[in-house]
């Protein structure tokens, strides 16, 4: 089973399965995001929203989310994970062309990647919202 890139720029409300290998079941799961402007002369403003099984989660966006502990993998089986990140760009001496934004999402179990890092690059639409809606599933192997 292979995980598809869970990041979207449209709110589809779909919540596909995101597979976590059983070897990680006793480790804590961590979330990290990275948001980058692909042109200079602009500033980035981020707003994140995160919920797990319908319950809002507290975290410290700095401005991205850095190793937010979500819980022990085996305790997250079947949970729905919802993350939205709204990225607004403001001109700060740059040209008039709104830059694209590269968004990276990383899930770790302990210090190991659960899967690859997922990335998505936006269009020049400003602001842009990145959506990640998934259902967490423990499987024998990926």
Note the pLDDT tens digit of each residue in 35-75.
999 988 999 999 999 999 999 998 877 799 999 999 999 99
When pLDDT is cut at 50, 70 and 90, the band that residue 140 belongs to is very high
Q: What percent of the chain has pLDDT over 90?
A: 83
Instruction: Output the pLDDT for position 141.
Output: 80
> Considering the domain boundaries, does residue 73 fall inside one?
yes
Residue 25 has pLDDT above 80, yes or no: yes
> Considering the domain boundaries, does residue 18 fall inside one?
no
> Considering the domain boundaries, does residue 12 fall inside one?
no
> Considering the domain boundaries, does residue 13 fall inside one?
no
> Considering the domain boundaries, does residue 41 fall inside one?
yes
> Considering the domain boundaries, does residue 52 fall inside one?
yes
Instruction: Output the pLDDT for position 73.
Output: 98
- Domain span at residue 57? 25-139
Largest CA distance in the chain: 52
When pLDDT is cut at 50, 70 and 90, the band that residue 94 belongs to is confident
When pLDDT is cut at 50, 70 and 90, the band that residue 95 belongs to is confident
* Number of separate domains in the chain: 1
Domain CATH code at residue 71: 2.60.60
> Considering the domain boundaries, does residue 11 fall inside one?
no
Q: What percent of the chain has pLDDT over 70?
A: 100
> Considering the domain boundaries, does residue 1 fall inside one?
no
């Amino acid at each position: 089973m292979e995980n598809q890139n869970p990041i979207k720029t449209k709110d589809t409300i779909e919540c596909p399965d995101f597979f976590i290998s059983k070897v990680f079941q006793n480790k804590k799961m961590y979330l990290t995001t990275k948001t980058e402007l692909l042109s200079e002369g602009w500033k980035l403003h981020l707003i994140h929203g995160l919920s797990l099984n319908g319950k809002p989660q507290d975290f410290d966006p700095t401005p991205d989310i850095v190793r937010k502990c979500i819980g022990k993998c085996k305790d997250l089986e079947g949970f729905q994970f919802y993350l939205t990140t709204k990225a607004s760009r403001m001109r700060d001496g740059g040209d008039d062309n709104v830059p694209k934004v590269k968004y990276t999402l990383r899930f770790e179990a302990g210090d190991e990647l659960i899967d690859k890092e997922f990335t998505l690059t936006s269009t020049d639409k400003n602001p842009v919202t990145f959506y990640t809606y998934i259902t967490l599933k423990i499987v024998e192997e990926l």
